[in-house]
Amino acid sequence: MQRTSFSDARCPIARSLERVGEWWSILLLRDAFLGMTRFDEFQTSLGIAPNMLTRRLRALTEAGLLERRRYNDKPPRYEYVLTPRGRDFRPVLVALMAWGNRHFATEGPAMQLIDEVTGVVAQPVVVDANTGVPIDRERHVLHPGPGADARTRARVEKFLERRAQERDASTPSSH
């Protein structure tokens, strides 16, 4: 079965999944954020087969999320460090962690984000950088952007129609 490529898709979610949508990739980025840089560290942490690890590291490097750097000449050895693009993935990992803790950590959170100044467990939310207002379904709505193709535009416009219908159905009539 051939894998579908989303590299040419106009949807930013599809394009992002093209780069990090495979679970090993996300777990490798998690480990990179935990300070791991070397092949053997990743392999030990994940228990991943060497050939799969090589492919995932190559893909993350080609996507510009990791940079491969030589740290030893004889024998040649490389480390993998986060690039600025890779560091920009941190909020996605934090959001996944918070969501997983909220919905799937029945035994309690295995990892938490702690404010090092106060020592308090942080409660991550996505906020609008322009206003500081948390992003929520009531106030914020998707619209087609300037780069939207016909397929993306149709998908989002259908969403907007459904949203309008939901709002109309929930608004009390004024008789």
pTM for the whole thing?
0.82
Q: Find all residues with CB under 8 Å of 126, minimum gap 6, and list them.
A: 91, 95, 134, 135
pLDDT over threshold 90, residue 130 = yes
* % of the chain exceeding 90 in pLDDT: 73
Residue 1: predicted pLDDT: 61
